[in-house]
Amino acid sequence: MTALTLSTAAAPGLRADAIVIGVGKGGKGPVVAPGADAVDKAYDGRLAGVLETLGASGAEGEITKLPAPAGFKAPLVLAVGLGAEPEEGEPYGAEALRRAAGVAARALTGAKKAAFALPLADAADAGAIAEGALLGAYSFDAYKGSAKDAKVGGKAPLGEAALLGGKPRDKEYKAAVERALAVTEELNRARDLINTPPNDLDPEAFAAVAQTAAKEHGIKVEVLDEKALEKGGYGGILGVGAGSAAGPRLVKLSYTNAKASKHLAFVGKGITYDSGGISLKPAGHNETMKCDMSGAAAVFAAVVAAARLGLEVNVTGWLALAENMPSGSATRPGDVLRMYSGKTVEVLNTDAEGRLVLADALWAASAEKPDAIVDVATLTGAMVLALGSRTFGVMANDDAFRAAIVDAAEEVGEPSWPMPLPEHLRKGMDSPTADIANMGERMGGGLVAGLFLREFVGEGITWAHLDIAGPAFNEGGPFGYTPKGGTGSAVRTLVRLAELTAAGELG
């Protein structure tokens, strides 16, 4: 992974492959952002004009390369667009810095070292730039020949990002960078899991990864295999995994802190491959279904990050892992499953399987009576239709908690939107055979799924559901610090929720 350093060195004397500067979009053309003073001075104060001549406007994500001025040890200046120039006296926002740093890091793939001379006024800015650079430099090359071959032709990620204007001896700056490292390393691990082909990541393999990480970071781990799930009565998880040769697993990760007074439970959908089961997905809808475990990857990453940060809150992660396949032993439409809660569910569509594994995990999490439960899942195509490919939906049984999650997501740069749980949609899941069906009205399908999950949350427990079906897997080109493929959506939101809870600012 890309190394990260704080540097007090002046841009001209720093040995690097490139100097990264920021450019804002002003009313009359590009505006050189704070942090680039030394570079602008070397151009006799005419850097903005030079950039405009080269076609730069300062638009978000725009890249302009130009030779470094005489006297600079770096040969290249890379100007990255920050978007609209803020009002006078106002700084550039954290998300603008993250995205700019991510774009620059990706553009400098193959470089050994880059100096980031972006606007950096305080430790929070340092953290944002660090996050952006480390997330933007991410690449998944595990299946592209040998490691040596992957580096041929400048394919290796940026080797080091030096943050100019950083204060390496300042406690706040050091803490901001250490936080960025912990969060981004775990988020990138989640991306790796999402991008791993399903023939190499079945439920047992995912559980093994979780066990290894738990041991490394002092997290207690418990893995329920088929026999344990059968003995415990986890009918939802077993029903979804019944058609696969790879058995299901329920993984419980428990991070505890002696000073904690609050307990959060995170529950993640972990369908390591989703064919749809007997309700088979058509061609064109199953090629990326290795990503259907993104919720579990996010929960796993968030728990490990909380442990690495030593947060004063107890966090339990539940990974509901199964592979949804068609076979002679698979659950059929019309079958009835008895869930871990004791409720029965008529399965009308085996491709609505995520809610079945989550239901068992939610009830298991509820048994410990945490202060709040948050589940994360690539649950419905309906949510993608509603919110698009970059925004996740947030539903909850408590409006204040839902608002707090949306605020936390906005703070860390993850677009989200509050969604309702309309009571009239519950009737559509009434079943003549079982307590509830796993399908309801087609219109508002994302909300129906949320109402189904609510049925399996313990009484009196605050709960929220994050449907990350849109932003979990980027099928388009990279943007900002977001790569093509697995994104690690919701990891930073979960970590922020844990931090706010530890600080006594949530619940």
Three-state DSSP state, 205: helix
C-alpha to C-alpha distance for 166 and 464, rounded to whole angstroms: 38
User: With contact defined as beta carbons under 8 Å apart, do 19 and 74 qualify?
Assistant: yes
User: With contact defined as beta carbons under 8 Å apart, do 343 and 456 qualify?
Assistant: yes
Q: Give the tokens for residue 123.
A: 């430790």
Q: Give the tokens for residue 83.
A: 């978007």
**CB-based contacts of 166, cutoff 8 Å, min separation 6:** 5, 6, 7, 8, 120, 126, 173, 177
Supply the DSSP symbol for 418.
E
Task: Give phi and psi for 67, each to the nearest 5.
Answer: -60, 140
> Dihedral sign, CA of 223, 229, 233, 234?
positive
Active site residues: 281, 355
Q: What is the largest CA-CA distance in the chain?
A: 80
Task: Give phi and psi for 45, each to the nearest 5.
Answer: 75, 10
C-alpha separations of 40 from 85, 442, 473 in Å: 17, 58, 39
Determine how β-strand 372-377 pairs with β-strand 462-467. Answer: parallel
91, with CB counted inside 10 A (0-12, 13-18, 19+), is: middle
Q: What string of H, E and C letters represents the secondary structure of 268-334?
A: EEEEEEECCCCCCCCCCCCCCHHHHHHHHHHHHHHHHHHHHHCCCCEEEEEEEEEEECCCCCCCCCC
63, with CB counted inside 10 A (0-12, 13-18, 19+), is: middle
Report the length, in residues, of the chain: 507
